[in-house]
Structure 1
Amino acid sequence: MFARKPTLAGERVTLRPVGPEHVDGLWELVNNPETVRLTGSHAPFDRFGIGWWYGSRGDHDDRLDLAICTAEDDAYVGEVVLNELDADNLSCNLRIALVGPRAFGRGYGTEAIRLVLDHAFSTTELHRISLEVFDFNDRAAHVYRKVGFVEEGVRRDALRWNGGWHNAIMMSILAPAWAARKT
């Protein structure tokens, strides 16, 4: 479904297929404590693994991994990914991560999500795109609602972080709802 790896341009960001040229940016992203907390990432990363990961994403037609680069100077500020494709049910998952405070609050994430949703719903048969956001990530939950995601439920105590438990809020957007928002 995602054999074609497009470049998508907006006013603030350009989304590009991830590749080895984005490894330094991903390394910064996975080493930013705030980004790690917001994504609930417990796994350690190594530089070699990061390089292999970004170098191999183009080989997978069941996912779309795009680097979020600033339109101004093409600097890497994060990634947006469509993964966990369920081709039988025309659905997938969306995840997004920004490099940290230098990318927060600038509209990069909002525009990246809108660009990837528009691409997914206008060029594929996808009907449903879902995501999860942790209950302490109010900024992301606000953005998801703003672009049209609807809360579906909660996975209670889904994340253990620094000795505390946090819920994961499940959200989705459907192709008809996206189409209605565009008109």
Structure 2
Amino acid sequence: MNTEILGKKDGYIIRLAKIQDATNYYEQNFCPLDKEVARLTGSKEVYTKEEVETFFLRSLEDDDRYFFLIIAPNGRIIGESIINEIDWNLRSANFRIGLYQLTERGKGIGTWATEATRDFAFEKLRLHRLELDVYSFNPRAEKVYLKAGFKREGVLRDAIMDGNEYADDILMSILEDEWKALKK
């Protein structure tokens, strides 16, 4: 399964991450991490190579995670799409996505990757529920998730900080039956 390609579109590919991707993953996205990406994902801006590569390699070993990389036509890793925290008994999981390159945003890549990963979750993993959270200061991402069929479930008010301001953490999910209706 390590060579599984989740999808292809306009020269872009989503595929499972592989051990040999670790260094490129770090060098192409974390030297340094884009400030806006750090803000929108709640990450710190500076990571060491060891931190990133250790996390990357550990992620490949997790039984409750599918770690997909988004690759540009030039071969550069531009993002990730991840299903994690899988509860096989409940058939539920968490979803997250990140596009690291500013030049790749606004092209529909995030929407495409979200939909491809969502479909994988329901078709291949046979999940019943896929959930995520998005910060209130990222309305563009929330719009992508709504378009992909996710529904707002609730809001954790003033649960995070955006600089010196409080912001909300919006909880969203899509259920198996909602996905099936969407695919018809």
Superposed pair shares fold, TM > 0.5: yes
Conserved 8 A contact 2:158-2:168: yes
Residue equivalent to 2:103: 102
Residue equivalent to 1:9: 7
Counterpart mapping for 1:123-138 below 5 A: 123-138=124-139
Conserved 8 A contact 2:70-2:79: yes
**Is it true that 1:68 corresponds to 2:66 in the alignment?**
no
Aligned length: 178
**SS of residue paired to 1:152:** strand
Q: Displacement of 1:58 after TM fit? A: 2.1
- CA distance in 1: counterparts of 2:162 and 2:111, whole angstroms: 26
**Is it true that 1:23 corresponds to 2:31 in the alignment?**
no
**SS of residue paired to 1:8:** strand
* Dislocated runs of 4+, deviation >3 Å: none
Conserved 8 A contact 1:80-1:96: yes
- CA distance in 2: counterparts of 1:62 and 1:68, whole angstroms: 20
Structure 1 letter corresponding to 2:110 = G
**SS of residue paired to 1:74:** coil
Residue equivalent to 2:118: 117
Q: Displacement of 1:73 after TM fit? A: 2.4
Structure 1 letter corresponding to 2:83 = L
Q: Displacement of 1:43 after TM fit? A: 7.4
**SS of residue paired to 2:126:** coil
**SS of residue paired to 2:74:** coil
**Is it true that 1:166 corresponds to 2:164 in the alignment?**
no
Q: Displacement of 1:41 after TM fit? A: 1.8
- CA distance in 1: counterparts of 2:179 and 2:29, whole angstroms: 29
| 1:91-129 C-alpha deviation (Å, 9 max, x unpaired) | 111011111421210111111111111111111221000
- CA distance in 1: counterparts of 2:78 and 2:88, whole angstroms: 30
Structure 1 letter corresponding to 2:14 = L
| 1:73-105 C-alpha deviation (Å, 9 max, x unpaired) | 232111111111122211111011111421210
Q: Point out where structure 2 has 5 or more consecutive residues left out of the alignment.
A: none
- % identity of equivalent residues: 33
Alpha carbons of structure 1 residues 100 and 159: separation in structure 2 relative to 1, 3 Å: farther
Superposed CA RMSD in Å reads: 1.7
Structure 2 letter corresponding to 1:122 = E
Structure 1 letter corresponding to 2:13 = T
Counterpart mapping for 1:13-52 below 5 A: 13-18=12-17, 19-20=21-22, 21-28=24-31, 31-42=33-44, 44-52=46-54
Q: Displacement of 1:174 after TM fit? A: 0.9
**SS of residue paired to 2:106:** coil
Q: Point out where structure 1 has 5 or more consecutive residues left out of the alignment.
A: none
Conserved 8 A contact 2:130-2:174: yes
**Is it true that 1:78 corresponds to 2:79 in the alignment?**
yes
Higher RCO (C-alpha 8 Å, min separation 6): 1
